[in-house]
Amino acid sequence: MRTVTLNNGIDMPILGFGVFQIPPEETEQAVTDALAAGYRLLDTAAAYQNEEAVGRAIKSSGVPREELFVTTKLWIQDAPAQGNTERAFETSLNKLGLDYLDLYLMHQPYGDVYGQWRAMQDLYREGRIKAIGVANFYPDRLVDLIVNNDVTPAINQIETHPFFQRTTDQTLMREHGVQIQSWGGFAEGRNNLFTHPVLSVIAEQHGKSVAQVALRWLVQRGVVAIPKSVRTERMAENIDVFDFALTDDQMASITTLDTGGSLFFDHQDPAVVGRLGKRRLDN
């Protein structure tokens, strides 16, 4: 598996397996199948409510811990007042059945962002997390966090797919040493991604699926991707993207698909901020 090197020297697989929207009762089997297919990067979150199932799959897999790269995320309400960030971290770690995390992300750019980040920095310095990062941070919020703290986020996990390509964001992240990671790499099939004529033609030219083209486009840009599937044949297909390369012309064709906006929700929209800020987790 190809890797990227984070700003603290840690290597991270460029392609992994995400469990967003997989029901807890299906997650253990899905992760078991993903590990058997060769995935070693696993991405979950407290908000997904399936960390325990991920942990059970890890424990029963027989895969050595040092071969795995496990990510989970801190939710908004787990602010640092009275040690809430530390308790949220411990809760996630216990649910996963692990002694340490490879990557811990602040899930949303809201709430007491700076207090949470400083608590995460402490956990990182204690060696309980190999790398810390953020998710859904737009450039202004990301730079502000960087210039006001000691540890620069290793990762910014953001919506990235052919219809919202985030190339300007990626350039800024690269300048600050932050690795871009994609969520929603298939745009959840919106805009008819899996049958889109531009992507379909490219897929036919390589004898690959549209999903494989979308993932190859991400990894060829140096974007870490975490596709989700509960079907073993799709898992195998999604990880099989390292035996072909898109040409410059094909990459340019995909560039024309960029709409410049989210297909899901705008993290700078006050209504979105209010809605997410009211969501509570039952830990």
**pLDDT at residue 157 above 70?**
yes
Q: Are strands 103-106 and 41-43 parallel, antiparallel or unpaired?
A: unpaired
- Residue 123 gets which letter from DSSP? H
* pLDDT of amino acid 234: 97
pLDDT digits (tens, 9 = 90+) for 68-86: 999 999 998 656 666 889 9
Helix ranges, the chain (H): 24-37, 51-61, 84-96, 113-125, 139-147, 167-175, 197-206, 210-220, 232-239, 248-255, 270-277
224 vs 188: CA distance, rounded Å: 17
Q: Are strands 11-13 and 3-5 parallel, antiparallel or unpaired?
A: antiparallel
* pLDDT of amino acid 282: 54
Count other C-beta atoms under 10 Å from residue 182's C-beta: 25
Which residue in the list 48, 104, 110, 124 is annotated as catalytic?
Answer: 48
Phi and psi at residue 72, in whole multiples of 5°?
Answer: -140, 180
In terms of Cα–Cα distance, which of 276, 170, 230 is closest to 20?
230
122 vs 145: CA distance, rounded Å: 16
Q: Which overall architecture, per CATH, does domain 3-277 show?
A: Alpha-Beta Barrel (3.20)
Residue 283's pLDDT band, with cuts at 50, 70 and 90, is very low
| Weakest mean pLDDT among 170-184, 188-202, 262-276 | 262-276
- Name which residue leads in pLDDT, 103 or 80: 103
Rounded average pLDDT over 194-205: 98
Rounded average pLDDT over 238-265: 96
Has 48 been annotated as catalytic? yes
User: What's CA 223's distance to the chain center, in Å?
Assistant: 10
* pLDDT of amino acid 265: 80
* pLDDT of amino acid 83: 82
C-alpha to C-alpha distances, 163 to 198, 230, 262, nearest whole angstrom: 12, 24, 8
Tokens of residue 210, six digits: 């549209």
Write out the H or E segment, with its range, that includes residue 156: strand 155-159
**pLDDT at residue 244 above 50?**
yes
Residue 99's pLDDT band, with cuts at 50, 70 and 90, is very high
Q: If you compute the radius of gyration of the chain from its CA atoms, what whole number of angstroms results?
A: 18
* pLDDT of amino acid 274: 74
**pTM across the whole model:** 0.95
Identify the three-state secondary structure at position 181. Answer: strand
* pLDDT of amino acid 226: 98
State the average pLDDT for the chain.
94
What angle, 0 to 180 degrees and rounded to 10, lies between the N-to-C axes of helices 197-206 and 210-220?
A: 90
Looking at the DSSP bridge assignments, the partners of residue 105 are 73, 133
pLDDT digits (tens, 9 = 90+) for 12-54: 999 999 999 999 999 999 999 999 999 999 999 999 999 999 9
277-282, long-range: CB within 8 Å, 24+ apart, which pairs? 277/76, 277/110, 277/111, 279/47, 279/75, 279/76, 279/77, 280/77, 281/46, 281/47, 281/75, 281/77, 281/78
Identify the three-state secondary structure at position 3. Answer: strand
Q: Which residue has the tokens 């390589």?
A: 206
31 vs 61: CA distance, rounded Å: 9
Phi and psi at residue 105, in whole multiples of 5°?
Answer: -110, 140
- Residue 101 gets which letter from DSSP? B
Extents of the domains making up the chain:
3-277
| Weakest mean pLDDT among 107-121, 192-206, 220-234, 257-271 | 257-271
